[in-house]
């Protein structure tokens, strides 16, 4: 019975986390520029991810929020522009104009994106755990975290 209760508690924590865990951004000075539709898409994709049991990587919408926010602070290298276009296409679908659409990525760019998503997942967990310890569960909060050097988004 205790094992079942622990399992239920973990599932409830995971569900609450999809809605209240922070959205990781590159620069908190630009955090308010994240559009409401993207915040909502992050919540929807997190819920879908939870329902399918996927763990260990952030969603496309979370990666889009991070890269979009970073682009307001630093110039993006060409591979990150392609990743940005790809994420726009994946998240916004047919709403993206043809000249900005990117349907796929090469292996190198896909590796960079995967690395970013793994890193975002870890940062989200760290910041959420810290906020729980401090008693500050803030829904839809943003957390500023500089990307690791290998992502090439640093100043």
Contact 64, 45 (CB under 8 A): no
Distance CA 131, CA 70 (A): 23
pLDDT at 149: 59
pLDDT one-digit tens code per residue, 60-95: 999 999 999 999 989 999 999 999 999 999 999 999
The CA distance from 35 to 37, in Å, is 5
Separation between Cα atoms, residue 131 and residue 22, nearest integer Å: 9
The confidence band for 142, taking pLDDT boundaries of 50, 70 and 90, is low
pTM for the full predicted model: 0.81
For residue 155, give Cα distances in angstroms to 77, 106, 146, 149, 152.
12, 25, 9, 9, 8
């Amino acid at each position: 019975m205790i094992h079942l209760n622990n399992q239920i508690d973990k599932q409830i924590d995971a569900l609450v986390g999809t809605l209240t865990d922070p959205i990781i951004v590159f620069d908190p000075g630009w955090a308010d520029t994240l559009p409401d539709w993207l915040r909502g898409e992050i919540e929807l994709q997190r819920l879908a991810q939870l329902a399918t049991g996927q763990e260990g990587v952030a969603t496309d919408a979370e990666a889009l929020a991070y890269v979009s926010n970073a682009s307001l602070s630093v110039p993006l290298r060409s591979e990150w522009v392609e990743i940005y276009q790809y994420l726009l296409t994946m998240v916004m679908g047919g709403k993206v104009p043809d000249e900005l659409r990117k349907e796929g990525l090469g292996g190198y760019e896909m590796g960079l994106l995967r690395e970013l998503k793994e890193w975002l997942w870890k940062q989200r967990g760290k910041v959420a755990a810290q906020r729980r310890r401090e008693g500050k569960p803030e829904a839809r909060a943003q957390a500023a975290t500089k990307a690791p050097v290998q992502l090439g988004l640093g100043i």
